[in-house]
């Protein structure tokens, strides 16, 4: 409760496991609908499920080679304050919100995924906030982990910058949940990822989760340019693989800083000490600023070399929100479509983690998927 100024629990979920956590500290009622983005992070609302919550990631853009992950949008806003967070330009009700009907969420996922039993669904909970962040978000994550342990063709993807993994450690996860960290060097964490766990705490949590048998995901996204970035990312990669074995890393994503012009203004207003908007960038036809292409390619190649040096060259590694030409410059090859990337990821899981993906992926079925 120490980060939170208030907790409101809707009467419909008062008796649920998550609804009971704050007992008499909670105000009964509907969402306080806090309009200010930063203030909304301090007011938690726990409410019932309204409408559908399971869908394809809203960032999917057919002009890019997207990983076509699915998401559950049961969390909205985040107690952390990353300066580059797109939520500051996205949310209207900025109250930190959590849906407590975990059983209903799991039912919706089962109903949809049972229709394509041949397909491996990767399902994230980070679209509108950090999956684990603080209690009770981590307790909600633990409920989902238990539910996913019995779903044959689904993988739950938790993604975090926190170290609040305690509720995950002693539960039956059946290896069907990947716990992932967004990773950046200490310099970036301190300046741009305000309120998140430091690198040491994240790596300690990662090692504990890995010891508990969970596969690990790594997200170097957004990579951020600053003087000495090459050395800093080198040191960070070294520390990651001191903490966990590459054999337990199921996939690695890489992307660079990006934001649209409206968000640039929000960043400069909300976080005037941040320097991330000062770099030279180009505006893409998706209306997002990015570093110049040669710089992005240089950053990605540098990171790939580091992964190779640390024995992680065989982990499935992909770019986030980049076109085929950047893939080609970085990897010397590229997936021919979003469905092809979906297939390649399923195939990698099948080959490296057969206990998670028992059904051999059928390339033709993935290639025929429509987005
Ligand atoms: S952890 Fe993610 S959701 Fe939370 S503020 Fe940072 S970027 Fe936004």
Q: For the segment 99-119, what is each residue's pLDDT rounded down to a tens digit?
A: 999 999 999 999 999 999 999
Segment 78-82 mean pLDDT: 97
Residue nearest to atom 6 of ligand 1 (CA): 82
Q: Report the distance separating Cα 68 and Cα 57, nearest Å.
A: 7
pLDDT for res 1: 60
> For the packed helices 293-309 and 324-331, what is the interaxial angle rounded to 10 degrees?
40
Evaluate whether 121 touches 342 at the Cβ level (below 8 Å).
no
Rounded to the nearest integer, the mean pLDDT of the chain is: 95
Residues near ligand 1 (Cβ within 6 A): 78, 80-82, 85, 87, 129-130, 161
Residue nearest to atom 7 of ligand 1 (CA): 85
Segment 175-190 mean pLDDT: 98
Q: How many CA atoms lie within 13 A of 37 on its CB side?
A: 20
Is pLDDT of 85 > 90? yes
Domain for residue 135, yes or no? yes
pLDDT for res 2: 64
Q: What atom in ligand 1 is closest to the CA of residue 84?
A: 7
The DSSP 8-state label assigned to residue 34 in this structure reads -
Q: What atom in ligand 1 is closest to the CA of residue 77?
A: 3
- Give residue 152's domain range: 6-367
Q: Report the distance separating Cα 205 and Cα 215, nearest Å.
A: 13
**Given ligand 1 and candidates 80, 97, 125, 194, which is best to mutate, with the most ligand atoms within 8 Å of its CB?**
80
Domain for residue 125, yes or no? yes
- Can you list the alpha helix ranges (DSSP code H) found in 46-114? 102-113
Domain for residue 14, yes or no? yes
Domain for residue 1, yes or no? no
Domain for residue 258, yes or no? yes
Q: What is the pLDDT of residues 211-222, one digit of tens each?
A: 999 999 999 999
In this prediction the pTM is 0.96
Domain for residue 16, yes or no? yes
Q: Which CATH number do you get for residue 141? A: 3.80.30.30
Q: What atom in ligand 1 is closest to the CA of residue 87?
A: 8
Q: What is the pLDDT of residues 265-294, one digit of tens each?
A: 999 999 999 999 999 999 988 899 999 999
The DSSP line for 119-141 is S-EEEES-TTS-SSSSTTHHHHH
CA nearest neighbour of 202 among 239, 257, 255: 239
CA–centroid distance, 81 to ligand 1, in Å, is 6
pLDDT for res 357: 86
Total number of domains in the chain: 1
Higher-confidence position of 79 and 358: 79
């Amino acid at each position: 409760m120490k980060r939170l100024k208030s907790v409101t629990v809707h009467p419909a979920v008062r008796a649920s496991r998550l609804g009971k956590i704050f007992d008499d500290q909670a105000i009964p009622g509907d969402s306080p609908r806090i309009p200010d983005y930063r203030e909304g992070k301090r007011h938690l609302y726990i409410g019932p499920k309204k409408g559908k919550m399971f869908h394809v990631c809203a960032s999917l853009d057919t002009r890019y080679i997207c990983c076509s992950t699915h998401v559950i949008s049961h969390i909205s806003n985040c107690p952390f304050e990353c300066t580059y967070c797109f939520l500051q330009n996205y949310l209207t009700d900025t109250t930190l919100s959590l849906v407590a009907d975990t059983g209903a969420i799991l039912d919706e996922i089962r109903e949809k995924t049972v229709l394509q039993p041949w397909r491996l669904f990767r399902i994230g909970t980070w679209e509108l906030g950090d999956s684990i962040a603080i209690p009770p978000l981590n307790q909600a994550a633990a409920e989902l982990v238990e539910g996913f342990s019995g779903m044959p063709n689904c993988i739950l993807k938790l993604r975090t910058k926190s170290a609040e993994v305690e509720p995950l450690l002693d539960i039956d996860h059946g290896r069907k949940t990947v716990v992932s960290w967004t990773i950046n060097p200490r310099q970036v964490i301190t300046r741009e990822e305000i309120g998140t766990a430091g690198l040491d705490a994240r790596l300690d949590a990662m090692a504990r989760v890995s010891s508990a048998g969970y596969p690990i995901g790594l997200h170097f996204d957004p990579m951020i340019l600053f003087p000495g970035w090459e050395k800093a990312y080198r040191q960070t990669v070294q520390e990651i693989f001191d903490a966990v074995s590459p054999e337990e890393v199921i996939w690695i994503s890489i992307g660079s800083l990006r934001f649209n012009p409206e968000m640039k203004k929000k960043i400069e207003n909300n976080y005037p000490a941040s320097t991330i908007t000062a770099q030279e960038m180009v505006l893409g036809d998706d209306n997002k600023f990015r570093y110049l292409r040669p710089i992005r390619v240089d950053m990605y190649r540098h990171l790939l070399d580091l992964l190779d040096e640390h024995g992680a060259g065989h982990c499935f590694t992909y770019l986030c929100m980049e076109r085929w030409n950047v893939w080609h410059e970085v990897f010397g090859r590229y997936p021919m479509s979003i469905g092809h990337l979906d297939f390649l990821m399923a195939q990698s899981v099948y080959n490296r983690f057969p206990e998670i993906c028992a059904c051999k992926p059928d390339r033709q079925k993935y290639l025929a998927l429509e987005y």
